[in-house]
Amino acid sequence: MGRPKKPLSTVQVARALGIHPNTLRHYEAQGYLPPIPRSANGYRRYSAAHLEQARLAVMTLQWPYVGDRALLVELVMCAAQSNFTAAESAAVQYLARLQQERAHAEAAVSFLERWAVGGVADPATGDMHTQQAADYLGVTVDMLRNWERSGLIVVVPRDPATGYRRYGTTELGRLRVIRLLVKAGYSQMAVLRALSQLDRGRADDLRAALELPHEDSANEAIEIIADRWLSSLERLAQHTEEIIIQIRRMAGRETP
C-alpha cells in the first residue's frame, strides 16, 4: 500500500495554478472548493482533489464568458459538492449556448456577404424620418444616432424643407445589416471595419474584415472578444470542451 501524499499548502496550490493565494482563499469563501481541513496550527491542508477542483474553478471563472455567468458558477459549485453529473450538464448547456451564438454570428456574416453584392433587397419603400426608421428596424432613436456618431452610417439625406434626416431604401438596408451584426454579437468597431472596407469598393473577404488584428491572449475582456466574435466563440467552445474533460477526470470518467 502506497504512502499517503503530503497535504499541499495554499501557496503550493496557488503556485501550481498560477494564481494569487488570495484568489484561492476567495474561492474557498465563495464555496467553490470543498471544505479544507486545517492543521493543528491553523494552516490549510489541500489534497489532490482540492487542487483539481481549484483548477476547474480557474478554468471556468478566470476566462471570458458569454451570456449568464450564473451557469458557470453553478458548474463549479456542483463539482465542489462532488455532483459531477450536474457539473457536466451545466458545462454541456453552456457549450450549446456558445454553439447557438456561433450559428447566429455565421448567419449574420452570410447576410452581410449577400447584401454587399446586391443579393438582399430591403423591403422598405419610400423615405422615413428617424423615429419611423427606428420603429421599422426595432431599435431606438438613440441607437441610430450612436451608429451615425460611430461612423457606421455616414451620409443620411435630409429633407430640404425641414432639415430632418430622411432614411431611404439604401440607408435602411445598411442599417438592417448593422443591426443584425450588432445583435449577433459583433462589436461596433468590427462592423465599422467591414463596412469601411466595403465603402472602399472591396466586397471580398468581409468575414476576415470583421476580425480585428490582435495579439493572442488567454484573458481578453469581453469587449475585445466581440471584436473577433466568430473566432472567439470557436475558442470559447474549445475551452468549454476542456472544462468538460476536467470534470470527467475529476469524476474518474475521462475517456482516453
State pLDDT tens for residues 148-196. 999 998 878 888 888 888 888 888 889 999 999 999 989 898 999 999 9
Judge contact between 167 and 127, C-beta under 8 A.
yes
Give the Cα separation of 82 and 47 in Å (integer): 14
Query: Looking at residue 154, what is its pLDDT?
Result: 82
Task: Dump strand ranges (E) for 157-237.
Answer: none
The mean pLDDT values, 10 residues at a time, for the chain of 256 residues are: 72 96 96 95 94 97 82 97 97 95 92 85 75 92 92 85 85 92 90 91 87 54 68 91 97 65
Give the Cα separation of 151 and 155 in Å (integer): 9
Q: Which residues contact 26 (CB under 8 A, 6 or more apart)?
A: none
143 CB neighbour count, 10 Å cutoff? 16
Query: Looking at residue 65, what is its pLDDT?
Result: 77
If we measure between CA atoms, which residue out of 131, 108, 128, 98 comes closest to residue 179? 108
Query: Looking at residue 97, what is its pLDDT?
Result: 93
Judge contact between 114 and 120, C-beta under 8 A.
yes
Q: Nearest 5 degrees, angle CA 137-CA 66-CA 34?
A: 155
Domains, the chain: 10-100+231-250 (1.10.1660.10), 101-218+222-229 (1.10.1660.10)
If we measure between CA atoms, which residue out of 176, 89, 96 comes closest to residue 136? 176
- For the residues of 69-103, what is the DSSP string, one character each? THHHHHHHHHHHTT-HHHHHHHHHHHHHHHHHHHH
Q: Nearest 5 degrees, angle CA 115-CA 117-CA 121?
A: 45
If we measure between CA atoms, which residue out of 228, 233, 136, 216 comes closest to residue 191? 228
Give the Cα separation of 46 and 12 in Å (integer): 9
Query: Looking at residue 2, what is its pLDDT?
Result: 45
Q: What is the DSSP letter of 226?
A: G
Name the grid cell of 80.
465542489
Query: Looking at residue 217, what is its pLDDT?
Result: 43
How large is the angle between the packed helices 169-183 and 130-137, nearest 10 degrees? 40
If we measure between CA atoms, which residue out of 42, 22, 20, 24 comes closest to residue 32? 24
Query: Looking at residue 161, what is its pLDDT?
Result: 82
